[in-house]
Amino acid sequence: MARPRRFTDDQVLDAARDLLTDPAITRPGIAAISAASGVHTGSIYVRFASRDELLARLWLRSIRRFQTGLIDALSGPDPLLAASAYLPRYCREHPTEARAMKMFHRDELLDTGPDDLRAAITTVNDEMNTAIRDAVAAEFGVADELGMAVAAAAIKAIPYGLVRDYIARAAPIPLWVDDIAATASTAVVREFGRRTATIQL
């Protein structure tokens, strides 16, 4: 009979994530993860084929957790503005998850990540992108290339540009960031919506 597992994958991933409270650590090593989790390095390697696989799984888990709330925001009223407000709030409330999402770029993992995770990495943004497209169509009447670019600015570029340095330094994100992100994103969405309405008239 197989011996029962004394730890879960999430316990190991949580330990790796929590090491990111140190701004000097961008991709934790196995020895540090072992020490933080209390799980022997050999046991970690039984569960995860390599450090790269462990960190890729942490990245995927963090991306999915972030996207769950973002998709919820996109399904409500004023979806683009709700989504733009969500990003800085989430990163403030979950700072190590935010740093875990910065460990890799999706394209990097597609080139160098573990083969058995390639499908998950390829499709990780599909549900979010569908939700964004639906929100753009609801907001502007059509989800064309320009509308999607406006959404990307409001949801991603503006709020992330404001929090990126704080995430990199593992520093608290001040509350005033939310106000600036909301003001800038609202201006972009409302101005584009006004121009679209004028053109349609």
Identify the band that residue 126 occupies on the pLDDT scale cut at 50, 70 and 90.
very high
Task: Report the alpha-carbon distance of residue 65 to residue 107 in Å, rounded.
Answer: 19
Identify the band that residue 7 occupies on the pLDDT scale cut at 50, 70 and 90.
confident
For the four alpha carbons of 120, 65, 166 and 82, in that order, the dihedral sign comes to: positive
pTM of the model: 0.91
> Average per-residue pLDDT in the chain?
93
The string of pLDDT tens digits covering residues 69-93 is 999 999 988 999 999 999 999 999 9
CA angle 148, 65, 141 (to 5 degrees): 20
- The yes-or-no verdict on residue 3 having pLDDT over 70 is no
Which residues are within 8 A (CB) of 126 and not within 5 positions of it... i.e. 6 or more apart? none
Can you give the pLDDT at residue 174? Answer: 98
The CATH number given to 52-200 is 1.10.357
Which residues are within 8 A (CB) of 72 and not within 5 positions of it... i.e. 6 or more apart? none
CA angle 157, 158, 159 (to 5 degrees): 100
Q: Using an 8 Å Cβ cutoff, are 95 and 21 in contact?
A: yes
The string of pLDDT tens digits covering residues 155-173 is 999 999 999 999 999 999 9
- The residues spanned by each domain of the chain are 52-200
